């Protein structure tokens, strides 16, 4: 149950890569992390996606064996109101990048497994409009983290 | 015989303290805040809620502390944690002075936010954060008092729903007077700067 979809995915990616470049294989993911919250509360997932191809790529969804449900979301604090809405697609322009970052686009990961704890690596499958997929390892970080933890703590460049 | 020197010492101490207080009051120029001033525009902190240990509390329980009032809910995976994580960094930058500050995280989702969940949630961000919940009426009263708002978004069909809510942080001095307002666009530097002003013992008009 666990190994087969993964094996199929790997085989699919290898085949796709050999045949022609699909959307998933043009995407490079950086600084992927999850803000782990206590009591099984929904967590935010963040990553910067770079598209190395001449064609736009469209992220349409995500899933993870360690979360019951993953949604694509966008937050805003426009007009003094914090709000969040589900989105069904996110376009990464040709040779461009899109940041899923706190306060903006993010993955909402719900019903987390008990084995997700700070410091663990959580594989998340990103799905694209052409049916291609790629697996990205997200680092589980503490609730009060302000970024992926790869850079030195910064001042105030994450707000807004 | 022994009591007299002690009495005299006490008297001198009281006089010195009074003189210090008077000197403090004479500083009449407005404090150079960097955030938006709300003195005189927003009422003093006042509420009747339940804290994250299940105890009934009022604003009077937090007199003596500079307080940061923020409305949110625990099923909020992005904006609320971002705000609380930034406030945690601000508290760290204050060092030992942070002991004089409390983050008051008021739930606008009392149906799901029990004191126990709030306790786990706020403590994951900062040990000087307090989760507050209460009856819908008491929460509504506090939200209205600060002209804030919130609204429950439609259920997604699985019992899950989001709550849109005011994103501002209302900052009160140790006497419970409203002083400045921070928005998510304001920098940590500005928050640290203004909290230093409010924590200065000579500055509490």
The ipTM value here is: 0.80
Q: Which domain holds residue A80?
A: 3-141
Contacts of A117 (CB under 8 A, 6+ apart): A36, A140
Give the whole-angstrom CA distance, residue B194 versus residue B198. Answer: 6
Residue A68 lies in a domain: yes
Give the whole-angstrom CA distance, residue A45 versus residue A33. Answer: 6
CA distance A86 to chain B (A): 10
The CATH number that applies at residue B76 is 3.40.30.10
Residue A121 lies in a domain: yes
The CATH number that applies at residue A114 is 2.60.40.1890
Give the whole-angstrom CA distance, residue B18 versus residue A156. Answer: 40
Residues B82-90 have a mean pLDDT of 96
3-state secondary structure at position B43: coil
How crowded is residue B183: how many other Cβ atoms within 10 Å of its Cβ? Answer: 15
Which tens digits make up the pLDDT trace of A29-80?
999 999 999 989 999 999 999 999 999 999 999 999 999 999 999 999 888 8
Residue A44 lies in a domain: yes
3-state secondary structure at position B90: helix
Give the whole-angstrom CA distance, residue A126 versus residue A48. Answer: 12
CA distances from residue B58 to B80, B138, B140 in whole angstroms, order as listed:
23, 11, 15
In chain A the beta strands, taken as DSSP E runs, fall at 27-35, 43-51, 57-63, 67-76, 81-86, 90-92, 97-100, 105-112, 121-128, 133-141
**So what's the pLDDT on residue B169?**
97
Residues of B in contact with A143 (CB under 8 A): 81, 84-85, 121, 124-125
Question: Percent of chain B scored above 70 by pLDDT?
Answer: 84
The span from the first CA to the last CA of chain B, in angstroms, equals: 40
Q: Determine contact: B70 vs chain A, CB below 8 A.
A: no
Residue B16 lies in a domain: no
Residue A124 lies in a domain: yes
Exposure on the CB side of residue A21, measured as CA atoms within 13 A: 11
Contact between B107 and A20 under an 8 Å Cβ cutoff? The reply is no
Which tens digits make up the pLDDT trace of A112-145?
998 899 999 999 999 999 999 999 999 999 999 9
Residues of B in contact with A83 (CB under 8 A): 79, 153, 162, 164-165
Contacts of A122 (CB under 8 A, 6+ apart): A34, A64, A66, A67, A116, A137, A138, A139, A140
Residue B129 lies in a domain: yes
Rounded to whole angstroms, the maximal C-alpha distance in chain A is 49
Q: Which domain holds residue B183?
A: 35-199
Q: Give the number of domains in chain B.
A: 1
- Whether residue A158 has pLDDT greater than 90: no
Residues of A in contact with B131 (CB under 8 A): none
The residues in B 118-157 lying below 8 A from A, measured between CB atoms, are: 120-121, 123-126, 149, 153, 156
Q: Give the number of domains in chain A.
A: 1
**So what's the pLDDT on residue A99?**
97
Residue A30 lies in a domain: yes
Q: What is this structure's pTM? A: 0.82
Residue A117 lies in a domain: yes
Residue B15 lies in a domain: no
DSSP summary character for residue A40: T
């Amino acid at each position: 149950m666990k190994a087969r979809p993964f094996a199929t995915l790997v085989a699919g990616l290898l085949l796709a890569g050999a045949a022609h470049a699909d959307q998933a294989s043009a995407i490079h993911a950086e600084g992927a992390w999850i803000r782990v919250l206590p009591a099984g509360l929904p967590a935010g997932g963040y990553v910067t996606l770079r598209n190395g191809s001449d064609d736009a790529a469209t992220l349409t969804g995500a899933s993870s064996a360690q979360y019951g449900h993953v949604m694509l979301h966008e937050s805003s604090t426009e007009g003094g109101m914090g709000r969040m809405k589900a989105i069904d697609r996110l376009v990464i322009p040709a040779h461009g990048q899109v940041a899923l970052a706190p306060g903006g686009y993010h993955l909402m990961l719900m019903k987390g497994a008990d084995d997700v704890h700070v410091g663990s690596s959580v594989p998340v499958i990103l799905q694209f409009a052409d049916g291609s997929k790629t697996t990205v390892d997200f680092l589980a970080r503490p609730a009060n983290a302000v970024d992926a933890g790869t850079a030195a703590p910064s001042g105030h460049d994450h707000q807004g | 015989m022994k009591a007299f020197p002690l009495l005299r010492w006490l008297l001198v101490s009281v006089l010195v303290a009074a003189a210090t207080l008077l000197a403090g009051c004479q500083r009449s120029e407005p404090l150079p805040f960097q955030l938006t001033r709300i003195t005189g525009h927003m009422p003093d902190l006042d509420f009747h809620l339940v804290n994250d240990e299940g105890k009934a509390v009022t604003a009077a329980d937090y007199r003596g502390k500079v307080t940061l009032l923020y409305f949110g809910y625990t099923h909020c995976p992005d904006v609320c944690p971002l705000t609380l994580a930034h406030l945690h960094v601000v508290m760290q930058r204050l060092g030992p002075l942070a002991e004089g500050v409390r983050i008051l995280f008021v739930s606008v989702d009392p149906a799901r936010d029990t004191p126990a969940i709030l306790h786990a949630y706020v403590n994951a961000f900062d040990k000087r954060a307090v989760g507050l919940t209460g009856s819908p009426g008491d929460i509504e009263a506090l939200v209205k008092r600060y002209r804030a708002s919130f609204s429950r978004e439609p259920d997604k069909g699985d019992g899950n729903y989001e709550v849109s809510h005011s994103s501002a942080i209302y900052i009160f001095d140790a006497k419970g007077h409203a002083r400045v307002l921070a928005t998510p666009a304001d920098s940590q530097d500005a928050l640290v700067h203004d909290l230093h002003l409010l924590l200065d013992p000579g500055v509490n008009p």
